[in-house]
Amino acid sequence: MSKLVIVESPTKARTIERYLGKGFKVMSSMGHVRDLPERELAVDIEHDFEPKLIVTNKKAVAQLKKAVENAEVVYLATDNDREGEAIAYDLYEVLDHKNKKGKKYLRVVFNEITKRVILEAIEQPREIDLNKVEAQRARRILDRLVGYLISPLLSKTLSGSKYEGLSAGRVQSVALRLICDRELEIQDFVPQEYWLIDAKLRDGGQEFLARLSRIDGKKPEIPSQEEAERVRKELEEIAQAQGFVVQELKEEETKRGPLPPFITSTLQQAASSMLRFSPQKTMQIAQQLYEGVQLEEGHEGLITYMRTDSLRVADEARKRLRTFVKAQYGERYLSPKDRVYKNKKAAQDAHEAIRPTDVTRTPDSIKQYLTPDQYKLYKLIWERFVATQMADAVYAKRQASIRAGKYLFEAKGSKLLFDGFLKVWPMPPLKDEGVEVPDLQRGERLTLLEILAEQKFTEPPKRYSEASLVKALEEKGIGRPSTYATIVSTIQERGYVVKEKTTLRPTLLGFIATDFLKDYFPLTVEEGFTAQMEEELDKISEGERTRVQVLREFYEPLSKRLAQVQQELGQKRVFQILTDVNCPNCGAVMEVRFWKGKAFLGCTRYPECKTTIDFPRTVEYVYKGKRVLVSEKLQLHQEQKAERAAAMPQKTCPECGAPMELKEGRFGRFYGCTNYPKCKVTEPVSTGVPCPLCGRDIVERYARSKKRVFYGCQGYPDCTFAVNERPVKLCPKCDQGVLVERKEQLVCTNKSCGHREELPAEAKAEAEEETAATTTVSPN
């Protein structure tokens, strides 16, 4: 073995090694091999922000060092972006390149994992781009400075301890502010009434609708039913006196062109809206398609690199696509000219747009080799790319302007004449598609059949979805393609945001964290500042600025602000979230505090008064300014909690014999000994249903990664039986499943059984009560 190729992932290594054949050994670094240590700042501020890097994967590095000893040439084939460039440089550093006389380290890059591209890359190596490495180092250090200097202050303020772990990320804080600001807009929104006026007209025997578009040349404003009624009467009088007359008629053919190929942000948005994939899931599946899937002909990379903001498509790939479209759909469906899409100014052009590596590899032809999710995403990418070189869709549009005195009505309709690219990439129909407007004549007088008035109300702005948040981040220049999915997932994992159906809603913790940063570190949540930092990182990549220059300009004002805030926070509690609840012991106002992600109420006279009240984990409250209105809902929660606890079976501690009480911790419900802390015995909450596999109890458990309760056998890990829904009883038909509540039915969890029963009335009532107790209340 004389040539060693190093990539990041094992999957990619297997694919590439098959392409290169004998004489090459391809190994994986398993991602980054060096990073900043976790439990310290690890940045020498006094010496030009020099980072303290440590080897994070010693086992992988040891294996690579051994392989390097037998290699004449080492190809560093990590991804062609800042992170990949930094990994390549770290490999170059840690593999003892200085001690290997005559050893060559070459950098190779590629945009797709196909045999042709890989062989070309090996033949055209280059040097490591140190500017990209510097940009990655700067980004990592910036994030560390924010995370390690501001986050402890946030934690100390809200939790009383700097070790609580609340995070103030450089980019995630801006995303959180966008969501919080949108929620406040929704709360403050006051609906405005307005009315739409339509005229039902007839031309000969054909009826159609026309909408009021102008009054005396101005956009109509009809705010009330009284005004709508006045307009209706006036129009009826005009119809009798002078009638509704066709003033103008336009007929034309219009074209609708396809969307550009996917970039990272648009892929995440489309996958979210069309496939219901989270950005994180989309990127995970795209990574699998990029690194390669086992097909009949071998392991093949199916798409180009998925972290890109460039719309560029290689000339050869575009030519192959045009040949495919012509052969598959006919020349009529081929765009007359090559479509070349232009990048935005801020786009980096290191990669192509996201496209199939081989357009002739249709989704259905490889469906049997893909998982259902891989197939869906590949189909989405393939269809979007194929559509880019297909002909425009053609519509026949007709628009009539109809005059009735000072009132002007418009009737619009369109009809699809030729589907073009819509044959492959369906898009929502045009607003007036399918609406028929008769073949009218200018000056023709129409018969008024009826005036229709419809009441409407203005609607508040919509909450961000994961897709629309990614779109907003991209438009504002916040983050980069490689970070969008991480940003969206991080703010949810931290408990700052919850996902309700398809929308993102800030939690109380999210509101409070954002308010703290707005008050004390406003630049961290300032859109323009964060976007400017991204531009500075781009300038480092391009060699226009140095890492030290950018870090120094960022740190100097931050350090002054840190010193000032530390002094303010050290003197008194200057940031408090007060409630409308009084301390039951001393009568003082209580405030919201957090510990390990869980909210509770604490007395503002702490430490003189250490009274606390449980604050429901699953319910949010009205949040206005820095006052939380909780009293009624808190009382309801305490009552429901007491009722549920009273209904639970009584338990005695098996160790000391003291009674046990039902408690709610960070990771769900459990029984705890009342003799705590002398006796620390705990027991899980049983469902009362035996495990169908081993007969032991099925108990409540908590999935930390997904932050939700599930139900598993008490005999774990010996028995791994588990279900997501609460079990009601053993299945009477089979011996391998339990019946769980699902859509007001009892359904067996054993898929091969299929047994169903109607949910008993008592169980239905209990389910409704349980839902009411744990439903998240919108802060409106």
Q: Pairing between strand 50-51 and 24-28?
A: unpaired
What is d(CA 125, CA 106) in angstroms, rounded to the nearest whole number? 6
Q: How many CA atoms lie within 13 A of 521 on its CB side?
A: 32
How does DSSP classify residue 354?
B
Using CA atoms, how far residue 210 sits from 246, 402, 449, 509, 623, in Å, is: 11, 8, 12, 50, 45
Dist. CA 754–CA 749, nearest whole Å: 8
Helix/strand/coil (H/E/C) assignment for every residue in 552-584: HHHHHHHHHHHHHHHHHHHHCCCCCCEEEEECC
Quick one: DSSP state of residue 717?
Answer: T
Q: H/E element holding 43?
A: strand 43-44
- Side-by-side strand order, sheet with 612-614: 612-614, 598-603, 589-595, 578-582, 627-629, 622-624
CA distances, 585 to each of 589, 591, 604 (Å):
11, 14, 12
Edge-to-edge strands, sheet with 3-7 = 24-28, 3-7, 73-76, 104-107
Which residue in the list 305, 333, 407, 555 is annotated as catalytic?
305
Four-CA torsion 244, 245, 247, 253, nearest 10 degrees: 80
Residues facing 445 on adjacent strands:
245
Q: By the 8 A CB rule, do 472 and 484 touch?
A: no
Distance in angstroms (rounded) separating the CA atoms of residues 713 and 720? 7
Distance between CA atoms of residues 290 and 306, nearest Å: 7
Quick one: tokens of 545? 């600025």
Distance, CA of 591 to CA of 603 (rounded, Å)? 6
Q: Cα angle at 605 between 601 and 607, to 5 degrees? A: 90
Question: Can 305 be counted among the known catalytic residues?
Answer: yes
Return the structure tokens found at 31: 């991602």
- Distance of alpha carbon 222 from alpha carbon 405, whole angstroms: 17
Give the angle 24-25-27 at the CA atoms, nearest 5°.
145
Interior CA angle at 25 toward 21 and 30, to 5°?
Answer: 125
Q: Point out the residues that are catalytic.
A: 305
